[in-house]
Structure 1
Amino acid sequence: MAASNPLKIIDISQTGPSTPAELLDALTTQGFVFVDGHDFTQEEVDSLFDLSRAFFQLPSDYKQRYSIVGNTGYITFTKENLDPAKKDDFKEGLNLSDLDLATGELNPAQLIPDWIKDDDARYELIKSSIRKLNSLNLKLLESIAVALEIEDSGECAGAQWFTSRYDPKLKSGSTLRFLHYPVLNSNNSEGEIRAGAHTDYGSMTLLFQRRNQEGLEIYSPISKRWEKVPYVETENTGAAMAPPIVMNIGDLLSYWTAGLLKSTIHRVKFDASESRKEDRYSIVFFSHPSDETLLEPVPSPLIRARARSGRGVTKDEAKGEFITALEHLQRKLAPTYQ
């Protein structure tokens, strides 16, 4: 029996006037949505997962030569702790940050595994994926701006309010991340928390997940309980288009909109009642604006009253000034890595 799906599915290839409103409704209620009608083929997604699996199968001593510095590099088991109130997360990952969002190039000054950068096919796949994920990110941000009725200014048109803060020539926290959650034998009747409960740090997150490798759960703002996010397919799914991508709001979009858009708490849990035979692999793109972007209120009539009421957490209390995207990211990363 197919698992129930708590999330709406929005087909962004259907560019009718109702699409932005449908997207906004999903993001102001659940904070998560399935995005269909994207531009990724099944072959591209399969190739990304093949690359991910092959990397994590490399010897441990090789991977640890590229251990994370800042927000780039390999993350070994129990290195990361997304929920400080719980035990360390038992997973491994690879973060590729400091990206050129226009070309997909990785900064050569970063410690990138030569297994990737010295192999033309792997590196081209990485670059192409970064470009396409950022393009999808910008398309979604523009749709959200339209739905929010953001006002035009001398700086930019309202529909480009978010995207104008994504200058590809400037540094940002945007990150492509590969994750591996191995199956473990466990007698824990409550199941295993493999990524602690947290919200994401950036503007929005785009996630690929695989059939039979589920585990993502959201704490639904509607039902006030944990809900499993299943793997889904639609009538669009096939060789020409991969299954819908999970998209969720991060802290920055929540702050910008004074909490109107939900940065929903989520986790990865392996339920003890499941007969899990496969490791879980996921691929994530974390979207961040340029580092010096201020987290100031969005000029939208839909959220102006919320900002006046003090909702949103965009100011440095000591200085009474709006913080930047980089300052927010640094504050969130500090307790995450031991």
Structure 2
Amino acid sequence: MCKPNPLKIVDIKSNSNETPKEFLNALTTQGFVFIDGHDFTSKEVNTLFQLSKAFFELPMSYKEQFAKTEGNTGYISFNRENLDPTRKNDFKEGLNISDLNLVTGEPSSEAPVPDWIKEAERYELVTSVIRKFNILTLKLLELLAIGLNIDDTETLKGRDWFVSRYRPDAKSGSTLRFLHYPKLNFDSNPVGEVRAGAHTDYGSMTLLFQKQNQEGLEIFSQISGKWEKVPYIETGKFPGMAPPIVMNIGDLASYWTAGLLKSTIHRVRFESQDEKQSEDRYSIVFFSHPNDETLLEPVPSDLIKSRSKSGVAKDTKYITALQHLHRKLASTYDV
């Protein structure tokens, strides 16, 4: 029996003139959407999940040698993060790979990336998918700009407004993240265990692969006003391609558009024993951020202008993408 799906599925390979409108509509109503036609193969995504699982099975003593410190790269141990300050810390572990050169897909040489990841075949896969995530991000940003009908300037076409703020060789907060949520032990864990507290994402957009029988993502629907489960969708339109990827808007895109694009609250919540949450959850996430110095100023679109004028003083000083990221990380890690 198919699980109900609260999200639209948008085929970005379609050449239809309606695709940008369909994409924009999903992001102004739910803030989340399934993207089909993304060009990730089933083989490479399955291999990436295998790599992630094998990493988290390594001894804790090894993983903690590469613990995240003041930056945003490294291993994050159980109960280290607190995405929802009204709840206890999140019982999950993760590996962040940040400080990326998006031309090569490689992190900075100073980033504490585990040697295990840097083994030749593994590293080739990781850097390849980072480049593909960035390419997909740029395609979605262009589609979004078309949907918003951003104004042309003397030097820039409106469709390039977002992309121009994503120079691939410049510093940004973009991050590849592996996550592991152990399955529930029903003798010691309550039913409906929240493993990632309710939060919005920090960047401009997020791309996420999840696996069958490892669901747990829930969004607080902008339409129904209640928590709704995001299911796993097994297949899309294209043979050999990985299932549709979950995409959602983050805080930066919401700021850029004066809230027109919804940075929707979401969480990871494990099911009750009766609903058979029998497997650990693994997810592969790419958090896309513009270049660090990018100002969170209003997008020059007629859809935004009337919204952004309300309550904004003429001498408003917009913060940068990096300043916003630092504030959110300080809250999450209590530093």
Q: Same fold (TM over 0.5)?
A: yes
Q: Which residue of 1 aligns with 2:275?
A: 274
The one of 321, 332, 335 aligned to 1:336? 332
**1:227 to 2:202 alignment:** no
Aligned residues: 331
Secondary structure in structure 2 of the residue aligned to 1:303:
helix
Map 1:141-152; keep pairs closer than 5 Å.
141-152=141-152
Give the Cα–Cα distance (whole angstroms) in 2 for the partners of residues 304 and 190 of structure 1. 46
Map 1:1-338; keep pairs closer than 5 Å.
1-69=1-69, 70-117=71-118, 119-186=119-186, 190-236=191-237, 238=239, 240-272=240-272, 273-310=274-311, 320-338=316-334
Change (3 A) 1:86 1:100: same
The two structures, once aligned, show a CA RMSD in angstroms of 1.5
Give the Cα–Cα distance (whole angstroms) in 2 for the partners of residues 286 and 27 of structure 1. 16
Secondary structure in structure 2 of the residue aligned to 1:179:
strand
**Deviation at 1:310?**
3.3
Deviations 1:176-211 (A, max 9, x none): 000000012136654100000000000000000000
Secondary structure in structure 2 of the residue aligned to 1:115:
coil
Give the Cα–Cα distance (whole angstroms) in 2 for the partners of residues 15 and 93 of structure 1. 37
**Deviation at 1:237?**
5.1
Q: Which residue type is aligned with residue 174 of structure 1?
A: S
**Deviation at 1:234?**
3.8
Unaligned runs of 5+ in 1: none
Give the Cα–Cα distance (whole angstroms) in 1 for the partners of residues 329 and 220 of structure 2. 22
Q: Which residue type is aligned with residue 66 of structure 2?
A: Y
Unaligned runs of 5+ in 2: none
Give the Cα–Cα distance (whole angstroms) in 1 for the partners of residues 263 and 27 of structure 2. 9
TM-score w.r.t. structure 1 length?
Answer: 0.95
Give the Cα–Cα distance (whole angstroms) in 2 for the partners of residues 174 and 9 of structure 1. 24
Give the Cα–Cα distance (whole angstroms) in 2 for the partners of residues 155 and 84 of structure 1. 44
Q: Which residue type is aligned with residue 326 of structure 1?
A: L
Give the Cα–Cα distance (whole angstroms) in 2 for the partners of residues 252 and 96 of structure 1. 20
**Deviation at 1:104?**
0.4
**Deviation at 1:233?**
3.0
Give the Cα–Cα distance (whole angstroms) in 2 for the partners of residues 4 and 191 of structure 1. 19
Give the Cα–Cα distance (whole angstroms) in 2 for the partners of residues 233 and 215 of structure 1. 16
Identity %: 66
TM-score w.r.t. structure 2 length?
Answer: 0.96
